[in-house]
Copies of this chain bind each other. A is one copy, B any other.
Amino acid sequence: MTSVEHSPLTRKLSAFVALSDVELAVLERLHQRRRSFVAGRDMVHQGQSSQAAYILSAGWVCSYKLQADGTRQIVDFQVPGDFLGLRSVLLRTSDHSFEPIVDIEAAEVMTSDLLEAFAQTPRLATAILWAASRDEAMVVEHLVGIGRRDADARMAHFLLELASRLALVGMGSREGYDCPLTQYHLADALGLSAVHVNRVLRQLRESGCVTFRDGHVTIHDHDRLVDLAEFDPAYLDQIGPLLK
């Protein structure tokens, strides 16, 4: 196994399973149907039926639910290497919508492709289920954040989670990362108003923890941010491969 030019999904799954050449080839075949989507136009609507899943290879997406009164709850953001709508392959209608935040590249994956890949390489199936389990663990953390963390801790936790996720696919580090999210995205994800988001970010910056400005997050004091967020990365389960 070489480390050159693998897709972000391959990099991510390699944290969990040491993939063989055959498994790598099956995984690459899942990327065959490459598509582009423009920022701001839903790829999948909530209530839409029998859609494909996607593997995101470049750009950021948000998954959200709209309420009847027009308010929006962002459930999660997807970064390169993440699946979009993996769950909806099994449920008959999508339970939420996906919107590209910037122009993106994604590979379309049919249910049949996925089941065929699973049948060929059970280890790859386990790795993909690991990724799905991790996605769900993140949604649980977001629930805990909105239910039980104050605004500062919620924001700090959110920024640290993104740092870990992006580091896994080679797009960031403990020092920081590029981030195309607006304060409206943060507000809709964290259950805060945009004004409140602005105030929280200013506090975090003035206290010397973290600066989010001009599309870049700079983490000045990782340890203090971890303390503030009570961030325990165990739920991301990304420390070293489990299956050799």
Chain A contacts to B: CB under 8 angstroms: 47, 65, 67-68, 71-73, 75, 87, 90-93, 95-96, 115, 119, 122, 126, 129-130, 133-134, 136-137, 139-144, 146-149, 191, 230, 234-235, 237, 242
Q: Which B residues are in CB contact (< 8 Å) with A237?
A: 91-93
**Which residue in chain B gives the minimum CB-CB distance to A242?**
B92
* Copies held by the complex: 2
| CB–CB A143/B73 < 8 A | yes
Q: Which B residues are in CB contact (< 8 Å) with A119?
A: 122
A143 CB to closest chain B CB (Å) equals: 5
Q: Return 12 A-B CB contacts under 8 Å, by A number.
A: A65-B140, A65-B144, A71-B148, A73-B143, A90-B126, A91-B137, A91-B237, A92-B237, A95-B140, A95-B235, A115-B122, A146-B146
Q: Which B residues are in CB contact (< 8 Å) with A149?
A: 67
Bound-complex Cα distance A92 to B17 (A): 13
| CB–CB A137/B95 < 8 A | yes
| CB–CB B140/A90 < 8 A | no
Q: Which B residues are in CB contact (< 8 Å) with A93?
A: 234, 237
Q: Which B residues are in CB contact (< 8 Å) with A136?
A: 87, 136, 139
Known: A140-B65, A140-B95. A147 touches B73 (CB 8 A): yes
| CB–CB A146/B234 < 8 A | no
A199 CB to closest chain B CB (Å) equals: 19
Given contacts A67-B144, A91-B237, A95-B235, 18 further A-B contacts (CB under 8 A): A47-B234, A67-B148, A67-B149, A67-B230, A71-B148, A72-B148, A73-B147, A73-B148, A75-B143, A91-B134, A92-B237, A93-B234, A93-B237, A95-B140, A136-B139, A139-B139, A139-B143, A143-B146
